[in-house]
């Protein structure tokens, strides 16, 4: 017999955690890292682990609620695909601004 008062969590579509007792749905932090292509899978894994630890420490989230994706970008595509679209178009949302400007 299942204890109806037992607290447990489950994952829905890898994006939402729902507490079975309160039925509150919590959205997870999803961090997207865009960087030059060429890093090894080991480097990407280590980076994702470090980012996850930092997010957990600062936000108090559990490990299972943190998602990290890494998108490789060719250096020749960086200005058009990342700098102009993600950085310049979202300047007011950047908490860490770049110390470079490829447009100069």
Q: What pTM, to 2 d.p., does this model score?
A: 0.72
The reply to whether 11 falls in a domain is no
Number of domains in the chain: 1
Structure tokens at 83: 């700098």
80 domain-assigned: yes
CATH of the domain at 83: 3.30.429.10
What is the overall mean pLDDT for the chain? 83
Q: List pLDDT tens digits, range 48-71.
A: 999 999 999 999 999 999 999 999
pLDDT surpassing 80 at residue 100 = yes
> What domain range is 65 assigned to?
29-93
Residue 1 lies in a domain: no
Residues belonging to the active site: 29
Higher-pLDDT residue of 11, 96 = 96
Alpha-carbon radius of gyration of the chain: 18
Q: What is the pLDDT of residue 20?
A: 52
Q: For the purposes of burial, counting CB atoms within 10 Å of the CB of 65, is it exposed (0-12), middle (13-18) or buried (19 or more)?
A: buried
Answer whether residue 19 shows pLDDT above 60: no
In a domain, 36, yes or no: yes
Query: Is residue 2 one of the residues assigned to a domain?
Result: no
């Amino acid at each position: 017999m299942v204890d109806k008062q037992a607290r447990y969590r489950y994952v829905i579509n890898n994006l939402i955690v729902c507490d079975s007792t309160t039925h509150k749905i919590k959205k997870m932090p999803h961090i997207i890292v865009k960087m030059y292509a060429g890093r090894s899978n080991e480097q990407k894994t280590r980076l994702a682990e470090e980012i996850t630890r930092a997010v957990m420490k600062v936000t108090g989230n559990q490990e299972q609620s943190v998602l990290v994706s890494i998108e490789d970008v060719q250096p020749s595509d960086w200005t058009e695909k990342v700098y102009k679209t993600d950085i310049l178009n979202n300047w007011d949302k950047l908490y860490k601004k770049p110390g470079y400007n490829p447009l100069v």
